[in-house]
Chains A and B, each alone.
Chain A
Amino acid sequence: MQTSTHPAAPAAAPEAGAASPLLAQIKRTLRSWPVMIAIAVLLLLVAMAVFAPWLGTTDPTMLDSAQRLKPISAAHWLGTDAFGRDVFSRVVYGARVSLTIGLGTVVISLTVGLFIGIVAGYFRLADAIVMRVMDGMMAIPGILLAIALVSLSGASLITVLIAISVPDIPRVVRMVRSVILSVRNESYVEAATVLGTPVPVLMWRHMLPSTLAPLIVQGTYIFASAILAEAALSFLGAGIPPEIPSWGNVMAESRVYFMMLPGLILYPGILVSLTVLSVNVLGDALRDALDPRMARRI
């Protein structure tokens, strides 16, 4: 392949080389037992979110003043909250909200970060300005930025999603930019440039593939931190509107009753921890497999 004189060959090489070993590496990663348990837990959670209405749940927003703050029973597997709502149902439906937030944050921060990162990495002029803005954004503590954004623009699923995504963007931009900067000096990119490849094609076919592996790794960490951030924001009362059952909200509502019924906070808390733990285990394994340079660092 390297000795081929065909003009397209050096350009095609990195792409062909990037796709299949990536899959093979991912498959190899998934073979250790902690990772398999983590994936099983995540699949279970996804199934729980998808099949929420058929898991012995009732309407998670249904109020029942006769059933306030009841302990665990056959009718209410995790008891009821201060409004008589079934905590088990709220936690199961909460998986939908929390996983959506996690996934949505990953999609928003990676897409926006990837776009800005490519622009910064490729266009020298934009680089200086964009990176100063990113430095400034990184200097603002993420949770302060998120709390301020949510409270100023009004609490809704979308604002919380954006507020959690924005602080993650600079890190994605930095990573993508550094990959682009190192790739643009590779001989295959120079070759493609010399051959007159249009800039969009150059980016799409020759630069984007090398950002894929670090993006996957960073995506898992962003997913984990987004679920924690949603829980923290809702817990502080600056998150998703209280009537929507998210894991953060379920815990926030029970703060006042903690000394009486600690389970109302601790059971959803264990579920949040288990989810984040599984994602982190998966992320560590993917990082070790896909990004050996980073694996040595952390």
Chain B
Amino acid sequence: MPIFLLRRLLAAIPVLAVVAVIVFAMLRLSSGDPAIILAGDGATPEQLDAIRASMGLDKPVITQFFLWIGQLLHGDLGTSLISGLPVSGMIADRFGPTLALCLGTIAVAVAVAIPVGVLAAWRQGKPLDRCVMAASVLGFSVPVFIIGYALILVFARWLGWLPVQGYQPPSAGLWPFLQRLILPTLALSTTYIALIARIVRTSVIEVMGEDFIRTARAKGLKESAVLINHALGNAAVPIVTIIGVSIAMLIGGVVVTESVFNIPGVGRLVLEAVLARDYPIIQALILLFSTLYVLINLVIDVLYSLLDPRIRY
């Protein structure tokens, strides 16, 4: 197991290296000179040269790349072109709301999708199953922001139960915090409920055809015990995979959801940085989320062998 872990960790290095090259190339080859952005339109050529020299932009591209990698390895994500603050601090400031939104979304998605998926599998081909399947296709066909606006319309505008948008940290009190998190969480989790429920259903259906299910039923176990202990337990690997994939995919939805609900999280930081062409922030955020993606995949692989002793590395 430790050897396997080490091997998987080493395998992640080339992937991250590729990400670093892609991100660097994308930002350097694109139009737009960071020095001009920083200095403004009225800058003299001398001023621009000075800025380029101070940022290392006058050096050859390859040198710039390795300088950047060296900084990264020292934990230095660079400084924002616009605010002049360290990027790592700016990201850390925005992390709380995003973390709350992501954790809430995954919790809701798993809590709803697993029972719904198991029920649909249990009633395979029956009306309940058909309804679940239809709702699931619908769930990932509607854009996140449409679900968000529809929820705002119903729960904030018509019923007046919840605030329209905004964010309060948990330190401001539990209810103000949760109150503003409910609608974005529901909006964002819809897609993942649909996705996870579908995989749960298919995986459970597949297991239900196995001999040990027949044996479990034959020895007179309650149907609920058969479904939960025998079927769901043995369908765990694909289910854990899709939950992991969902976590890794969340960031796309987070950007949109934070924009709809005006949540000052990392997703909004992405947008602000892109619109202001704040390269260091864009670079850092893409790298950060790609690293998270690689790490989550690593965790999934490790979980495989824990969930299914037949899988050995």
Complex Cα–Cα for A141 and B294 (A):
11
Verify if B161 is at the interface (C-beta below 8 Å from A).
no
From A144, A152, A258, A273, contact of B141 by CB (8 A): A273
Complex Cα–Cα for A137 and B20 (A):
10
Given contacts A139-B15, A280-B137, contact A144 B146 (CB under 8 A): no
Residues of A contacting B: mostly: helix
Contact with A along B1-34 (1 / 0, CB 8 A): 0000000000000111111011100110011100
Query: In the complex, what's the smallest C-beta–C-beta distance from A209 to chain B, in angstroms?
Result: 28
Measured between beta carbons, the chain B residues less than 8 angstroms from A298 are 198-199, 202
Contact with A along B125-154 (1 / 0, CB 8 A): 000000000000110111111100110110
Given contacts A144-B255, A266-B149, A281-B137, contact A237 B22 (CB under 8 A): no
Query: In the complex, what's the smallest C-beta–C-beta distance from B234 to chain A, in angstroms?
Result: 15
Q: Which of B81-89, B170-178, B267-275, B300-308 lies at the binding interface?
A: B267-275
From B141, B145, B150, B164, contact of A259 by CB (8 A): B164
Do the beta carbons of A236 and B141 come within 8 Å of each other? no
Contact with B along A171-190 (1 / 0, CB 8 A): 00000000000000000000
Complex Cα–Cα for A139 and B17 (A):
11
Q: Which residue in chain A gives the minimum CB-CB distance to B138?
A: A277
Do the beta carbons of A141 and B202 come within 8 Å of each other? no
Q: Give the interface size class of chain B.
A: 35 or more
Given contacts A228-B143, A298-B202, contact A139 B149 (CB under 8 A): no
Verify if B206 is at the interface (C-beta below 8 Å from A).
yes
Q: Give the tally of cross-chain contacts (CB within 8 A).
A: 149
Do the beta carbons of A232 and B202 come within 8 Å of each other? no
The CB with the most chain A CB atoms within 10 A, among B16, B18, B26, B144, is that of B18
Contact with A along B145-169 (1 / 0, CB 8 A): 1100110110001000000100000
Which residues 216-247 in A have Cβ within 8 Å of B in the complex? 224, 228, 231-232, 235-238
Q: Which of A8-16, A65-73, A128-136 lies at the binding interface?
A: A128-136
Measured between beta carbons, the chain B residues less than 8 angstroms from A132 are 14-15, 18
Do the beta carbons of B18 and A236 come within 8 Å of each other? no
Verify if A289 is at the interface (C-beta below 8 Å from B).
no
Verify if B293 is at the interface (C-beta below 8 Å from A).
yes
Verify if A149 is at the interface (C-beta below 8 Å from B).
yes
Given contacts A152-B27, A266-B146, A272-B143, contact A144 B137 (CB under 8 A): no
Residues of B contacting A: mostly: helix
Verify if B309 is at the interface (C-beta below 8 Å from A).
no
Q: Which residue in chain A gives the minimum CB-CB distance to B249?
A: A141
Do the beta carbons of B277 and A141 come within 8 Å of each other? no
Verify if A153 is at the interface (C-beta below 8 Å from B).
yes
Which residues 36-54 in B have Cβ within 8 Å of A in the complex? none
Q: Which residue in chain A gives the minimum CB-CB distance to B28?
A: A152
Query: In the complex, what's the smallest C-beta–C-beta distance from A59 to chain B, in angstroms?
Result: 27
Verify if B238 is at the interface (C-beta below 8 Å from A).
yes
Complex Cα–Cα for A262 and B158 (A):
12
Do the beta carbons of A276 and B141 come within 8 Å of each other? yes
Complex Cα–Cα for A106 and B150 (A):
30
Q: Please name the 9 residue pairs, one residue from A and one from B, whose CB atoms are nearest each other, closest first.
A: A136-B18, A152-B30, A143-B252, A269-B146, A277-B141, A276-B141, A139-B290, A273-B142, A151-B274
**12 A-B pairs with C-beta separation under 8 A:** A139-B294, A140-B19, A141-B252, A148-B286, A151-B274, A152-B26, A236-B255, A237-B275, A266-B146, A273-B143, A280-B137, A284-B137
Taking Cβ atoms with an 8 Å cutoff, the residues of B that contact A are 14-19, 21-23, 26-27, 30-32, 137-138, 140-146, 149-150, 152-153, 157, 164, 198-199, 202, 206, 238, 248-249, 251-252, 255-256, 259, 270-271, 274-275, 277, 282, 285-286, 289-291, 293-294
Taking Cβ atoms with an 8 Å cutoff, the residues of A that contact B are 132-133, 135-145, 147-149, 151-154, 224, 228, 231-232, 235-238, 251, 258-259, 262, 265-266, 269-270, 272-273, 276-277, 280-281, 284, 296-298
